[in-house]
Structure 1
């Protein structure tokens, strides 16, 4: 579905704009919901009253926009020549300060790689704890800069040579003899890679000049991918899956550690609770350990995830140490103020490729968590606690995550939907394949364990005939079966007919209790699946790459409701095609006025990919995936949800080369926007001697007139130092106005 602004406003009128977009409803009987460390309601309302007046002058990007104040007749000339810069580009009057970068000291460890979600838990107006996720390793820039940044060398060349000599692209390190030199060499690399992922806590203070600086308190610490293995700092676990973790024998692999867990990795986005804890989402864990499990919830052998590498990623590094795959893919809670807290994985929240979490805590109601599974064909989930919230700011609320139920969303084409419980008695009822863009659905494979890809309706029918309820797919006691369902949540949700969606990434609660969801990409994956075309489609009814933002309203505004209404409120894509000018929306932040701040996530190999023609060499249209080269670098956007500018998207920032801007998070007074800059130079690595290329792009004005753009594109990155031939490093920054007023 593609929504142009005129249709968007008509839609609002038809559905009731206050319900869908007014961040602070006029009805005084509608309750306010506890937002993490936000100001009072009165100050929020005052801020919302001025939301139609931008606090910044939008920057000029690489693509003509409806909001760039350039007439369509002048856009082809204005955008004829464009220069991309290797820097974080912000509006006039804004600056950024680097707070920490890869390799900086944190406690007894270091600031990790590819920083992602950020959370500032303020202990006073000018002090607090900044919790940072570290997602994964970008192989090229990490290897190029490792010795310079960390101060020691690793056997990268030796491992490359050994793999080439053996003519192998991957190797089962777990099964190698301990005496094998290659095992020792790969283990060294894997250990350092796992040190650079996980979670970090750093204490910060704002100086009188407005700059945030580190204070290096005793609470500063790292939770790495190997925490617990050698230092005893194991992560804890709660919920039904613990019964599976404690198995000494099972159908598959067990690590014999019981409910203790070694480390956390692929920590992508997250969320901050009203009671001052931070939740970190383990996303693409399948790159480090096996994802599929046996019918009793135990893991496949570490040998099933072999060590390998490509130009961007390292794979299988956790299997090198025999880590159990079923203990990763969870939501991790940490109290940044407690220096002895190394994290708890709450298994009632489900195991899948968690991107983020939206937390709705209201006194007198159950605690509700929302989270999306970031894969093509992934689902939207909701946890509802058995217990009731008494005080949204009470740290005892964490205990509510130990009992409840996990649900998966079923979207209907008429804008309604319902929640399906992931429990043993739920009926098996998978999708028909003809509604899926890719005509394939992964389902649990029984009795062998793992999964199979259903590509024929006959396979779906046979599956439904053989298994009647979710309980038929899993083995063990009732508690163990429930644990196995949660461990296998994505495939269990496929089995009961939850809607396959378009890579649900961030989930954020608006001040009125509704939920914003960023759906990053509606394209097809031959390995993971694809979205339901009744819900997620382009104007031609086919798969749509550029993404959407959805708003979901629970029935009667009750957090525990089992029915909801939904609407797509923003569409990616070129303005000439009805899009707002961005592609692949990712992390979201909601400001005090209820407005949306959004960052984009384009595949690194597509940034500034030359598009000299909209037809390829075979005279066929260039794919939507490759057309993402038109959009330039990762970008930051502001979208008002009330006032005269509703339905518009304003370009606030452009990231450095080949990076992803992630984790936007506002300080309580909204004078600072914290931001992660992840993997600068991910594809090319170090920019040498200020190298650049001149590339051609077949652009379009907002009215659809095609013109040729010449774009000067840096090759690689030197950010954040921006000095010639300096290595690029991921870093966290604080964005503020020069005059230190509210953004």
Structure 2
């Protein structure tokens, strides 16, 4: 079917992205309004391309291009000469074919409705929302009478990652694991009760309890969707839950505080963004914009410490939330090492509600968007993670030990320990096109694709550092600075990164970077091909021989997002008059057919954020179709896509106008204040027999 690509609406805000200014303030400390923390002068990709011939010689440069072309022939499953252009190999679709299984639905048009809008023939329900009971004894949610003790037993605020772990072969009983990324106190408390300049201690404790994760048992409802039930598995992990620090940096002097002189015990997890379900049934969750919770970085006089704080985005005096007034650990002038105890990948075992969650230092410390796993050919574990900041990097960790199949308690303990030792890498990308063809406009180079090769640069392994001037523990704790030193490629906000279980390739969402090409900032390169990149893009790569342990890879851009009617967008070669507009990709997931599903954050095209499907192979590669939209002011998070169910987290609906006159009243309607919530969607009248995206 043909999808109208230009049904856009006036922008909802004058802020520099599609988010409200309040969202930017509370979610990431208004990061885009501050200089990017990466001020390093390491050689970036554009310089690599310009100098490749002079450094290696023309013959070697030609060999690089030839090897890359051969690699992409391998991606298509072709061992002989590459097929003619537009013959249907990845990146060059042939004539569009019939709808790909999993994507056969009527696309939802861009809109600004205060609702979750889904395709015709589908139904939805709210599974759980902020304030709903998780633990026994949780009181009924009362917006006007909140307490910290109640919130510690209730579903937290601003849900992000959603993990669904089946507990039986038919998937009737499941563990639903959800991150609670951040709090927006001006929206979550009544306006006549909350003074942003003078929050009460109880309000601070409520906010701390609203962070972290929730684990609930969710069962299939015969009427459709999921519903939460009381269960011994139900659990709240908050900003005050005790975590165990593991891996090579555990016990480091940089992690010791007055409250924890061992450097091995941390209270809480903050700003948990995306995540992933491991093959052994646990959940990995990334601590992202933790910097905004720590006050008084401007008072630090030690130049080494000040540089480390600045590289992680810490600046200024008092924080927005003012937590430092009630607990010294949020004041870097008083507890300079507390900030080093955040910015990790954390792991929880939802199967054991009494287990202690873990912070894994071997995976490095930065603004982790997520962490997702692929098993190497020799049975080890590779973990991919993006650092969600303008001009920051993409990382990979490969374990030393080997994965043990099974989800027994013994297997889980063994496999969790795999993340304690291995090699941490950062990515460097090179392109195939002449430098003059990458001019920042998003115009495709003469070979018809943005593509190239890449290398994983080792940073540390166990107690050995590969970075001059850094000990191993410094690499793990100050990973950004170590990656600067080795010349990693500066990216446009790398967010969720996941392996495709069908074709084996890896996909990364690069959300946007309006500073690309600005005065004094890195300009466009082939892997980040647009200056002033407001709409983001999707990166795809395959490791050498398809092995996640490889240290080289071949890459291409699947999508360059935005208005399909403009010249600076690209949809995998698919006809642009037959795709949905998409802006600011954030989280990604896959269905069993191998289709990529993309949720968006900060739509810069003027409509609500949404969830989109896109085939990644065959003649329909690049055919973006919008499956749903979320309410006014909300971001689409999650997602989870099963054969017969789609789950999304609706984050920060109506955020920005304040609690007195909210822009959204979803999900309760009427004059109710908005509440972040999880939504399930299924085929109408055919629950547990109808299939998502199949007529």
TM-score, scaled to structure 1: 0.67
- Residue of structure 1 in register with 2:515 after alignment: 524
Give the count of matched residue pairs. Answer: 540
Q: Distance in 2 between matches of 1:505 and 1:392?
A: 29
| 2:308 is the alignment partner of 1:308 | no
Distance 2:618 2:109 in 1: 23
> For residues 648 and 408 of structure 1, what CA distance do their matches in structure 2 show?
31
Tell me the distance in 2 between the aligned counterparts of 1:401 and 1:367. Answer: 8
1:241 aligned to 249, 259, 271, which one? Answer: 249
Q: Could you tell me how far 1:210 is from its partner in structure 2?
A: 2.6
Which of 152, 176, 187 is equivalent to 1:141? Answer: 187
SS of residue in 1 equivalent to 2:224 = coil
Mapped partners of 1:18, 1:100: distance in 2: 46
**Would the aligned equivalents of 2:286 and 2:371 in 1 still touch at CA under 8 Å?**
yes
1:533-583, CA deviations, whole angstroms, 9 ceiling, x for partnerless residues?
Answer: 223444xx6342211101111111111111111100111111122425211
Alignment of 1:182-221 (within 5 A): 186-221=200-235
Q: Which residue number corresponds to residue 264 of structure 1?
A: 269
Partner of 1:622: none
Q: Is the aligned partner of 1:97 residue 2:125?
A: yes
Query: Equivalents in 1 of 2:70, 2:201: separation in Å?
Result: 57
Q: Retained in 2: the 8 A contact 1:416–1:566?
A: yes
Equivalent in the alignment of 1:635: 610
Number of the residue aligned with 1:742 = 691
- Post-superposition Cα deviations, 1:259-317, rounded to whole Å, max 9, x if no partner, equal 011000100000111110011111101111379998699997999774433xxxx3656
**Is contact 1:411–1:499 with CA below 8 Å preserved after alignment?**
yes
Cα distance, 1:53 vs structure 2: 7.1
Alpha-carbon distance change, 682 to 193 in structure 1, aligned in 2, over 3 angstroms: same
2:155 aligned to which of 101, 111, 115:
111
TM-score normalised by structure 2 residue count: 0.71
Alignment-derived partner of residue 355 in structure 2? 341
| Residue of structure 2 in register with 1:728 after alignment | 674
Q: Say whether residues 1:286 and 2:233 are aligned partners.
A: no
The 2-side partners of 1:595 and 1:517 are apart by 14
Going from structure 1 to structure 2, the CA distance change for 1:576 and 1:49 (only over 3 Å counts) comes to closer
The 5 Å alignment of 1:336-375 reads: 336-362=350-376, 364-375=378-389
Shift of 1:138: 2.0
Q: Hey, what does 1:79 align to over in structure 2?
A: none
Alignment of 1:216-615 (within 5 A): 216-227=230-241, 234-244=242-252, 255-256=260-261, 258-289=263-294, 306-309=317-320, 314=321, 320-323=327-330, 324-362=338-376, 364-391=378-405, 394-395=411-412, 396-414=414-432, 415-423=452-460, 470-472=467-469, 474=470, 481-511=471-501, 512-524=503-515, 533-538=524-529, 542-578=531-567, 579=569, 581-602=581-602
The answer to whether the 8 A contact 2:174-2:218 is kept is: yes
Contact 1:134 1:198 in 2 (8 A): yes
Q: 1:501–1:531: 8 Å Cα contact kept in structure 2? A: no
Offset, 1:105: 1.7
Secondary structure, counterpart of 2:647 in structure 1? strand
Q: Which deviates further from its counterpart, 102-111 or 190-199?
A: 102-111
1:96/1:219 CA distance change after superposition, 3 Å = same
Partner of 1:459: none
CA distance in 2 between partners of 1:319 and 1:486 (Å) = 30
Q: 1:494 Cα deviation (Å)?
A: 1.1
Does the 8 Å CA contact 1:240/1:347 hold for their aligned counterparts?
yes
1:463 aligned residue: none
Q: Could you tell me which residue of structure 2 aligns to residue 33 of structure 1?
A: none
Q: Say which SS state the counterpart of residue 308 (structure 1) adopts.
A: coil
Give the Cα–Cα distance (whole angstroms) in 2 for the partners of residues 346 and 364 of structure 1: 22
State the distance in 2 between where 1:560 and 1:115 align. 33
Helix, strand or coil at the partner of 1:674:
strand
Tell me, in whole angstroms, the C-alpha distance in 1 between the residues paired with 2:691 and 2:622.
23
Q: Which moved more, 1:110-119 or 1:514-523?
A: 514-523
Counterpart position of 1:705: none
Q: Is the 8 Å Cα contact of residues 278 and 334 (structure 1) preserved in structure 2?
A: yes
Pairwise CA distance, 1:471: 4.5
CA distance in 2 between counterparts of 1:318 and 1:471 reads: 40
Does the CA-based 8 Å contact 1:103-1:111 persist in structure 2? yes
2-side partners of 1:281 and 1:319: how far apart?
Answer: 26
Measure, in 1, the Cα distance between the counterparts of 2:415 and 2:521: 36
Kept after mapping to 2: 8 A contact 1:354/1:374? yes
Distance 1:523 1:404, change over 3 A: same
Structure 1 residues 412 and 556, CA gap change in structure 2 (3 angstroms): same
Conserved 8 A contact 1:237-1:260: yes
Distance 1:374 1:316 in 2: 24
Residue 427 and residue 357 in structure 1: after superposition, are their counterparts in 2 closer, same or farther (change >3 A)? Answer: closer
Mapped contact 1:282–1:354 kept (Cα < 8 A): yes
Partner of 1:679: 652
Alignment of 1:144-159 (within 5 A): 144=190, 156-157=194-195
Distance 2:307 2:492 in 1: 29
CA distance in 2, matches of 1:89, 1:303: 39
Indicate conservation of the 8 Å contact 1:351/1:487, yes or no: yes
Q: Would the alpha carbon gap of residues 254 and 471 (structure 1) be closer, same or farther in structure 2, given more than 3 Å must change? A: farther
For 1:130 and 1:53, the matched residues in 2 are separated by 23
What's the offset of the Cα at 1:532? 5.9
Q: Relative to structure 1, is the Cα distance of residues 58 and 16 closer, same or farther in structure 2, using a 3 angstrom cutoff?
A: farther
Unpaired runs of at least 5, structure 2:
6-67, 80-96, 136-151, 331-337, 433-451, 572-580
Deviation at 1:358, TM superposition (A): 2.1
Distance 1:363 1:391 in 2: 14
How has the CA–CA distance of structure 1 residues 216 and 362 changed in structure 2, closer, same or farther, with 3 Å as cutoff? farther
Q: Shift of residue 26 of structure 1?
A: 9.2
CA 1:493–1:319 in structure 2 vs 1: closer, same or farther (change >3 Å)? farther
Report the Cα offset of residue 366 of structure 1: 2.0
Q: CA deviation at 1:682?
A: 0.8
Indicate the RMSD between aligned Cα atoms, in angstroms: 3.6
Q: Is the 8 A contact 1:639 1:646 kept in 2?
A: yes
Q: 1:127 aligns with which of 154, 169, 173?
A: 173
Deviations 1:163-193 (A, max 9, x none): xxxxxxxxxxxxxxxxxxxxxx543332211
Whether contact under 8 Å (1:254, 1:299) holds in the other structure is: no
